Copies of this chain bind each other. A is one copy, B any other.
Amino acid sequence: MLSKKYLRTALVAAAAVVAMPAMAQQNYKADSTTIKNIYNNALTSFDSYENLRYLTKQIGARLSGSPQAAAAVEWGRQVMEELDLDTVYLQEVMVPHWVRGDKEVGRIINSKLVGAIDAPIAALGGSVGTGDKGLSAEVVEVKSFEELEKLGKKNVKGKIVFFNRPFDNTHVQTMSAYSGAVDQRGGGPVAAAKLGAVGVLVRSMTNDYQDVPHTGSTRYEEGVTKIPAAAISTNAAEKLSSLLKDDPNLKFYMRMTSETLPDVLSYNVIGEIKGTERPEDIIVVGGHLDSWDLGEGAHDDGTGVVQSMEVLRLMKDLGIKPKRTVRAVLFMNEENGLRGGRKYAEIAKAKGEKHLAAIESDAGGFTPRGFSLEGSEAQLKKLQNWKPLLAPYGLHDIGHGHGGADIGPLKGQGNVALIGFRPDSQRYFDYHHTAIDTFEQVNRREMQLGAAGMASLVYLLSEYGL
């Protein structure tokens, strides 16, 4: 029944064409054919999906410094070797090695109302442990740092500070709701410790009401006591908050044996197709190979990894010889250190490499919506001129916005455009940093469409630059 709709899309495209000079029209027709071929191939090949299955099911969670992270590096290298690229190599980088230790125990205790009940928690990445015996203390709930300051030492000393500001669900883009809440996770422990708190609980970063805690990085500060910090599931956070209203003297027991071990040697994995006309102009497409240690790191960021390699596979399989160099980079240690991204930028600078653009897929393998640019108005205009080629595939949202964490350190190197691949954001924080970020949550076609969209943009960049 959508054939009518196709017709219309064609008409729109046609209209766009009519408005173009003859040369542009020729290019438009050739480019739209190439892009259609990219989509046809991506939607009928199972390679990227099977790659994701292997990464998530055979290797699984792969936190920096873990044996699984090492396995992921070797797997990525082998997959790229099989693509018959011009170059495949590893880039050394020392990464942090934090370990979660025993499964955490979280429990509301001494409650006049419920006695003792379990509350699912997960140590935040980088957090110190509680010691074998764990710690128990009264809980003080806050929604903001201002509120915490007002409470002051006398109300905070010796207590567990419970940061419970929820996502603002009125944001249509869940990423903005995340941005409005994640300061609690990053900055909570230092702010609480400065007032004498003994521990921190942070409401999980999700729009959903769940029993699974969402982990993620936190920070400590030189000269401020490092106190244990954990994420608490949203359902448990709601329960704890309601109990505190009538029973402010209840206590919370938490036990975590997490610790930070010496740094470990690891690698970024890089594969590239040399440009035929301007090999010195480099277009990066990437995602991060590491994941949190819960779940399988499927949407974060297994899909970004296999989509980035799929871009190269599509070009090879379709015989597309890019005029500019196309390089897939599987970054190590995005989650708790960004060492891979920093190292990549450092070496690029040292080598005097010229990066035209860097595209990152690190927002999940969901149905594509567009691209967000950290770059100039002129670069944005050029990207938006390609809308008639991309909109028929649902890539409508092309505007200024975040590029990506791993490609961020490239900023300022020449005129590089940092481009974030933007899938639909609604489901991302249902799974983000949890035990339920698994292969089963990825829809094959949504992920394939993302890879095809990325490949289409890479193709246009390699043909026309920016």
**Of B207, B372, B424, which is within 8 A of A424 by CB?**
B424
Q: Of residues 391 to 427 in A, which have CB atoms within 8 Å of B's CB atoms? A: 391-394, 396-397, 399-402, 424, 426-427
> Using Cβ atoms and an 8 Å threshold, which residues of chain B touch A391?
396
**Per-position contact with B for A338-374: 1 when CB-CB < 8 Å, else 0?**
0000000000000000000000000000010100100
Taking a contact as CB atoms under 8 Å apart, the answer to whether B399 and A396 are in contact is no
With contacts A170-B43, A394-B369, A424-B367 taken as known, whether A399 is within 8 angstroms of B445 at the C-beta atoms is no
Q: Is there contact, CB below 8 Å, between A2 and B445?
A: no
A207 to B40, CA, bound (A): 14
Q: Which residues of B contact A5 (CB under 8 A)?
A: 173, 372, 397, 399-401
A444 at the interface (CB under 8 A from B): yes
Q: Is the CB of B176 within 8 A of A2?
A: yes
With both chains docked as a complex, state the minimum distance between the C-beta of A211 and any C-beta of chain B, in angstroms: 14
B contact residues around A176 at 8 Å (CB): 1-3, 6
CA distance A369 to B368 in the complex (A): 11
In the assembled complex, A31 has its CB within 8 A of some CB on chain B: no
Select one of B208, B367, B401, B424 contacting A1, CB under 8 A: B401
Cβ contacts under 8 Å, A1 to chain B: 175-176, 179, 401-402
Given A5-B372, A179-B3, A424-B424, do A445 and B174 touch, yes or no (CB 8 Å)? yes
- Beta-carbon contact of B449 and A367 below 8 Å: no
A430 near B: Cβ within 8 Å?
yes
A7 CA / B173 CA spacing, docked (Å): 13
Closest B residue to A398 by beta carbon equals B8
A129-182 at interface with B (beta carbon < 8 Å):
169-176, 179
Q: Is the CB of B446 within 8 A of A426?
A: yes
CB of A399 within 8 A of CB of B8, answer yes
Cβ of A449: which chain B residues have Cβ within 8 Å of it?
A: 172, 426
Residues from chain B with a CB closer than 8 A to the CB of A392 are 172
Contact code string A436-450 (vs B, CB < 8 Å = 1, else 0): 000000011110010
Assuming the contacts A402-B4, A426-B367, asked whether A394 and B172 have C-beta atoms less than 8 A apart, the reply is yes
Q: Which of A32-61 contact B (CB under 8 A)?
A: 39-40, 43-44
Whether, in the assembled complex, A9 has its beta carbon less than 8 Å from a beta carbon of chain B, the answer is yes
Docked complex Cα distance between A207 and B12 (Å): 28
CB nearest to A403 among chain B residues: B1
Closest CB in chain B relative to A439 CB, distance in Å: 14
Q: Which residue of B lies closest to A44 (CB)?
A: B169
Min Cβ gap A335→B in Å is: 17
**Complex Cα gap A39–B169 (Å):** 10
A6-B176, A396-B391 known; A169 and B43 CB under 8 Å?
Answer: yes
CB distance from A269 to the nearest CB of B (A): 26
Shortest A93–chain B CB gap in Å is 25
In the assembled complex, the Cα of A67 lies from the Cα of B169 at a distance in Å of: 38
Q: How far is the CB of A370 from chain B (nearest CB, A)?
A: 10
The proximity string for A residues 369-382 relative to B, scoring 1 for CB distances below 8 Å and 0 otherwise, is: 10010000000000
- Give the docked Cα–Cα distance between A158 and B426 (Å): 52
Assess whether B401 is in contact with A430, with CB atoms less than 8 Å apart: no
Q: A170 vs B449: C-alpha distance in the bound complex, in angstroms?
A: 10
Specify which chain B residues have a CB less than 8 angstroms from the CB of A401 in the assembled complex: 1-2, 4-5, 8
The smallest beta-carbon distance between A11 and chain B, in angstroms, is 9
User: Is the pair A400, B207 in contact by a Cβ cutoff of 8 Å?
Assistant: no
Query: Which residues from chain B contact A171 at a C-beta distance below 8 Å?
Result: 2
Q: What residues of B have a CB within 8 angstroms of the CB of A424 in the complex?
A: 367, 394, 424
Residues of B within 8 A of A44 (CB): 169-170
Q: A396 near B393 (CB under 8 angstroms)?
A: no
B175 lies within 8 A of A2 (CB)? yes
Contacts A172-B449, A173-B2, A179-B3 given: A400-B8 contact, CB under 8 Å?
Answer: yes
Of B12, B39, B179, B445, the residue contacting A426 (CB under 8 A) is: B445
- With A367-B426, A426-B367 already in contact, the answer to whether A39 and B172 are too (CB < 8 A) is yes
In contact, A40 and B170 (Cβ under 8 angstroms): yes
Residue of B nearest to A429 (CB): B445
Contacts of A400 in B (CB 8 A): 4-5, 7-8
6 interchain pairs, CB-CB under 8 A:
A1-B175, A5-B400, A39-B170, A40-B170, A43-B172, A44-B169
Closest 4 CB pairs of A and B: A1-B402, A396-B396, A5-B401, A8-B399
Known pairs A1-B175, A396-B396 / 6 extra A-B pairs, C-beta < 8 Å: A2-B402, A5-B372, A172-B394, A367-B367, A424-B424, A427-B446
